[in-house]
């Protein structure tokens, strides 16, 4: 009979990836010295730091436990070499918005995975603002963007994407022009919170977001909260354990990022929030939970933008829940670091779970039988972490082919997961 798993203790997760990217970018635009404490030190964050150094900003090394110091400049400078964004879609898309307002040409590229991801959703509206873009055959990276004087933009976003929205807001703020965006669904609002801090007038009415260039970038100090998209893995590992309770301290609780908590609660999780406070306009606090008997749930299409990064872990939890779960409208998962929709279904099937794709929907029938087999990640960090957590269930024998890729967003993931354990009984 498999031994039971007991969890406990107070834990922290790395700094929020979305906030770290934005803090570095805005600091580069602020003449003077800014300090970012608690920044994520992952490969993606280092990609943003690297390209900003190429553009003339001074950015200290990203090291765990050490504040990052950035000396920004009023005008960035042209890089003689291509700006390599690595695997980071956030870096690439937000960088394009920033470059659209700079009076020089830049070559932007990334790794093989990033070069397959769509960029026209960003470059088309930037061209409408006055930037010039020369892209390859697939309209993605590598591409050359020439910025300059921009004009106001009134644009309907074809997809619900915080990256696209942020790129256009960044272009408007850096270029000093008004931007009016119509969103089909609300997405994370970290960029708007930053811009309000700098005095930019931002309003949202009936799905229309308007930025007026009233602000000015100035040096700042920020403490980055823990990333909720990383916290879900420790929460899930706790829910799947047999006994104990766990506190995850200092997690970002921005409502545009915590839709997954509502999903987990619908599935039977009891998750309490404590010590809630605010830093730089961002709410944060502690999340406390314990093991639970999970039940199935449905995720509607309008919920997906708010839980897009947490879908892999939620899907793995659904494989252990009682009943059948249906996740509706997951087309955006096809253009993440991998085709996450197909990869989730294929890996679950390979392990013996009952999962299938129906159009852009994912249907998973939970079961108690042990799961076993090899998970193919295609170097997708969230796939790797979700199935690693699923592999902790007593009786499961799951081997992840590339666990090291977790470092893209969660350095030290294996150590953090092991720290939950209080022993087996």
Among candidates 223, 224, 227, 168, which has minimal Cα distance to 195?
A: 168
Distance CA 251, CA 249 (A): 6
Active-site entry in 84, 227, 309, 380: 309
DSSP β-ladder status, 243-252 and 5-11: parallel
Lookup: tokens for 386: 């979700």
Q: CB 213: neighbour CB atoms within 10 A?
A: 18
For 348-381, give the DSSP string.
Answer: HHHHT-EEEEETTEEEEE---S--EEEEP-TT-H
* Omega cis (within 30) before 359: no
Distance CA 158, CA 241 (A): 41
Length of the chain measured in residues: 425
Lookup: tokens for 240: 């799947």
Distance CA 170, CA 22 (A): 10
Q: Which residue has the tokens 């003689």?
A: 80
Q: CB 193: neighbour CB atoms within 10 A?
A: 17
Dihedral sign for Cα atoms in the order 21, 26, 31, 37: negative
The answer to whether 368 is a known catalytic residue is no
Among candidates 89, 68, 110, 5, which has minimal Cα distance to 395?
A: 5
Cβ partners under 8 Å of residue 418, min gap 6 = none
Distance CA 170, CA 221 (A): 19
C-beta separation of 256 from 186 below 8 A: yes
Among candidates 128, 168, 133, 134, which has minimal Cα distance to 147?
A: 133
Catalytically active residues are: 309
């Amino acid at each position: 009979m498999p031994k039971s798993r007991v969890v406990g203790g107070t834990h922290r997760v790395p700094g929020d990836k979305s906030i770290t990217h934005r803090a570095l970018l805005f600091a580069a635009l602020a003449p003077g010295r800014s300090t970012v404490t608690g920044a994520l030190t992952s490969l993606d964050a280092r990609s943003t730091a690297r390209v900003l150094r190429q553009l003339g900003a001074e950015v200290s090394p990203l090291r765990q436990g050490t504040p990052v110091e950035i000396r920004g400049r009023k005008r960035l400078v042209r890089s003689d070499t291509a700006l390599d964004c690595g695997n980071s879609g956030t870096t690439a898309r937000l960088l394009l918005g920033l470059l659209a307002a700079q009076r020089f040409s830049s070559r932007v590229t990334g790794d093989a995975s990033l070069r397959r991801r769509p960029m026209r959703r960003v470059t088309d509206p930037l061209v409408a603002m006055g930037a010039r873009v020369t892209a390859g055959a697939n309209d993605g990276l590598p591409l050359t963007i020439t910025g300059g004087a921009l004009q106001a933009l009134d644009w309907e976003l074809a997809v619900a994407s915080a990256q696209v929205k942020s790129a256009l807001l960044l272009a408007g703020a850096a270029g000093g022009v008004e931007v009016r965006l119509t969103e089909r669904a609300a997405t994370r609002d970290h960029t708007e919170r930053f811009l309000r801090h700098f005095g930019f007038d931002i309003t949202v009415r009936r799905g229309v977001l308007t930025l007026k260039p009233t602000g000015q970038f100035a040096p700042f100090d920020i403490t980055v909260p823990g990333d909720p998209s990383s916290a879900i893995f420790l929460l899930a590992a706790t829910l799947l354990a047999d006994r104990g309770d766990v506190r995850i301290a200092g997690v970002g609780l921005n409502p545009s990022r915590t839709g997954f908590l509502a999903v987990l609660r619908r599935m039977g999780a009891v998750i309490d929030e404590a010590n809630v406070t605010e830093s730089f306009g961002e709410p944060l606090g502690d999340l406390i939970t314990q093991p639970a008997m999970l039940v199935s749930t449905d995720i509607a299409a309008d919920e997906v933008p708010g839980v897009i990064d947490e879908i892999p872990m939620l899907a793995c939890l659904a494989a252990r829940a009682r009943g059948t779960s249906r996740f509706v409208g997951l087309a955006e998962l096809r253009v993440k670091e991998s085709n996450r929709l197909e990869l989730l279904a294929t890996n679950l099937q390979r392990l013996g779970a009952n999962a299938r794709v129906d159009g852009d929907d994912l249907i998973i029938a939970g079961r108690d039988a042990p799961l076993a087999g090899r998970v193919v990640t295609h170097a997708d960090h969230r796939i790797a972490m979700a199935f690693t957590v699923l592999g902790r269930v007593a009786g499961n024998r799951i081997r992840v082919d590339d666990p090291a890729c977790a470092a893209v967003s969660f350095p030290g993931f294996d150590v953090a997961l092991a720290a939950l354990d209080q022993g087996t009984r």
